């Protein structure tokens, strides 16, 4: 990880990326729900995104570039949002849209 990706990037940049992440989650959950007539509720503010789909849910809490991720089954972790729009987990780097698509697929199936 390059330190410049987290240090020195203004919080406004992360706030804008956060809005984009919420929008991606709305789009991908809608797309995944089309075939089965399922719907997800996506609520977002400047530091939290919550997605509910039937009995499944995802909570994302943001503190600057850090994202605390929690699921209904007890899974959780902390990820980092980079100034380039990627989400870093302990295992890998993932484009933000691919992370949103993965979360949406899990929630909607």
pLDDT tens per residue across span 15-27? 999 999 999 999 9
CATH topology of domain 10-108: Metal Transport, Frataxin; Chain A (3.30.920)
pLDDT in tens, 57-87: 999 999 999 999 999 999 999 999 998 999 9
- pTM recorded for the entire structure: 0.88
Q: Mean pLDDT over residues 35-59, rounded? A: 95
Burial of 54 (0-12, 13-18, 19+ CB in 10 A): exposed
Q: How many beta carbons lie within 10 A of that of residue 17, not counting itself?
A: 21
């Amino acid at each position: 990880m390059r330190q410049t990706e987290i240090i020195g990037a203004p919080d406004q940049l992360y706030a804008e990326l956060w809005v984009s992440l919420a929008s991606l989650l709305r789009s991908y959950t809608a797309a995944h729900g089309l075939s089965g007539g399922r719907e997800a509720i996506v609520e977002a503010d400047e530091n939290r995104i919550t997605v509910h789909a039937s009995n499944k849910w995802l909570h994302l809490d943001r503190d600057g570039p850090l994202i605390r991720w929690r699921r209904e089954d007890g899974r959780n972790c902390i990820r980092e949002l980079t100034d380039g729009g990627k989400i870093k987990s302990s295992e890998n780097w993932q484009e933000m849209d691919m992370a949103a698509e993965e979360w949406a697929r899990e929630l909607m199936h």
